[in-house]
């Protein structure tokens, strides 16, 4: 599978030569943790230019707005100090700081710009860096980390580092967000098995991780559209707590889906390959929509996807580049008004309604297939 879905390629040749890695999934029957045993962290180079922001989507922006309001109210984040780990472009951190007049610190090795930025009457300081003990001072009042824990090569070591940074004298709340393994395997979503993800957490395994790293879990629940993510809120625990046992019904349900996953996904891929073969035979123009991780995996896993020459994305930083391995060019939605495709494949069902609305607005009449 393509190793890096966050840094697209500048030429077709570079795209076709992009690095790949293997996916070999393992399942723990004690706690329901799923991980890629073939994952090689050294293959990744998280540096400026890596960009996977979703906030250009109105659907995702609404989710962030509701999340911001909820966290600010629940933890009284007004005039407080907020730390975001793996802050990306800093979009969510800016929202948290603006909503409560908070001071922010953002840490991420992919940051394009470092330094201090004004947000209303407060400031955010951005560091192009990895998390370390040096960020323990000055102490912060709230820590968040979204969509990054599952890429850590050693999630337990990382969470213990977060706990050490908080220290024993403070009860700093933390909010983390990861992909929802239970949803992935229940829906046979092969496209979301991104190589960069070292871990696939269920609610049980995520709770156990935090418990083993000296946190009291306040809440863990599915979030975003169809529960495709998991969110967990926790507080530093007083002393060591025994690990949380996985509920037997949750464990058995996930085990059932895991056992049949490989067979069912191979059949899903074969069905799509047959579908594309029929489309090629009729000479219809086909494009994909959504050049994120799911879209890149969809195109790379299905033989014959070269009949899809273009992939649409609303993120302007991705337009004009090429996706790794399958080498489709990323184009803006307006491109379709001239290209006039017969078929659009929506690579992420979450945004189907959004895509349909944009196609209607541009008066691009076509058939729509959803890579569910």
Q: Are residues 180 and 311 in the same domain?
A: no
Q: Would you say 3 and 325 are in contact if contact means Cβ atoms under 8 Å apart?
A: no
- Same domain assignment for residues 137 and 214: yes
Residue 301 lies in a domain: yes
Where is pLDDT greater, at 208 or 249?
A: 208
Crossing angle for the helix pair 58-74 and 352-362, to the nearest 10 degrees: 140
Looking at the fold, whether 201 and 314 belong to one and the same domain comes out as no
Q: CATH no. for residue 331?
A: 3.40.50.720
pLDDT score at 240 = 62
Based on the fold, state whether residues 287 and 235 are members of the same structural domain. Answer: no
Instruction: Tabulate helix, strand, coil % of the chain (nearest 5).
Output: 40, 20, 40
Q: What is the percent of the chain where pLDDT is above 90?
A: 87
pLDDT of residue 35 exceeding 90: yes
For the chain, give the number of residues.
372
Predicted local distance difference test score (pLDDT) of residue 244: 64
Does residue 366 have a cis peptide bond before it, meaning omega lies within 30 degrees of 0?
no
- The residue segments making up the domain with residue 311 are 283-370
The answer to the question of residue 276 being in a domain is no
Average pLDDT, stretch 215-231? 95
Domain count along the chain: 2
Same domain, 32 and 130: yes
Q: What mean pLDDT comes out for the span 349-358?
A: 96
**pLDDT over 70 at 172, yes or no:** yes
The two three-digit tokens of residue 212, written as one number = 């083993």
Whether 256 maps to a domain, the answer reads no
User: What integer pLDDT is reported at residue 78 of this predicted model?
Assistant: 97
Looking at the structure, tell me whether residues 191 and 312 fall in a common domain.
Answer: no
Co-location of 243 and 325 in the same domain:
no
DSSP one-letter code for 306: G
Confidence of residue 52 (pLDDT cuts 50, 70, 90): confident
């Amino acid at each position: 599978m393509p190793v890096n879905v966050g840094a697209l390629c500048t030429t077709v040749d570079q795209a076709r030569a992009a690095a790949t890695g293997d996916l070999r999934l393992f399942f723990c029957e004690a706690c329901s943790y799923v991980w890629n045993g073939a994952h090689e962290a050294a293959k990744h180079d998280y540096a400026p230019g890596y960009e996977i922001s979703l906030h250009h989507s109105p659907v995702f922006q609404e989710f962030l707005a509701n999340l911001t309001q909820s966290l600010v109210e629940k933890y009284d984040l007004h005039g407080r100090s907020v730390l975001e780990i793996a802050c990306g472009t800093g979009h969510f951190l800016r929202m948290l700081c603006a909503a409560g007049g908070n001071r922010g610190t953002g840490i991420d090795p992919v940051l394009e710009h470092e330094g201090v930025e004004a947000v209303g009457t407060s400031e955010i300081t951005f560091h192009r860096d990895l998390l370390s003990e040096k960020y323990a001072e000055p102490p912060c009042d709230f820590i968040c980390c979204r969509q990054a824990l599952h890429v850590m090569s050693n999630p337990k070591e990382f969470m213990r580092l977060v706990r050490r940074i908080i220290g024993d004298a403070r009860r700093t709340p933390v909010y983390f967000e990861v992909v929802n393994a239970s949803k992935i395997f229940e829906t046979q979503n092969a496209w979301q098995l991104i190589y960069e993800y070292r871990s696939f957490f269920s609610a049980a395994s995520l709770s156990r991780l935090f418990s083993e790293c000296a946190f009291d879990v306040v809440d863990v629940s599915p979030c975003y559209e169809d529960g495709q993510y998991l969110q967990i809120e926790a507080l530093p625990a007083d002393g060591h707590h025994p690990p949380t046992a996985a509920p037997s019904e949750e464990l058995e349900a996930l085990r059932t889906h895991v056992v049949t996953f490989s067979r069912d996904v191979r059949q899903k891929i074969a069905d799509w390959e047959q579908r594309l073969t029929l489309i090629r035979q009729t000479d219809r123009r086909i494009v994909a929509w959504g050049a994120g991780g799911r879209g890149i995996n969809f195109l790379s896993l299905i033989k014959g996807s070269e009949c899809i020459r273009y992939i649409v994305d609303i993120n302007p930083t991705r337009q004009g580049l090429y996706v790794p391995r399958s080498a489709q060019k990323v184009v803006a939605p307006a491109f379709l008004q001239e290209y006039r495709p017969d078929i659009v494949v929506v690579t992420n069902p979450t945004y189907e309604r959004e895509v349909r609305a944009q196609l209607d607005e541009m008066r691009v009449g076509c058939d729509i297939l959803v890579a569910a």
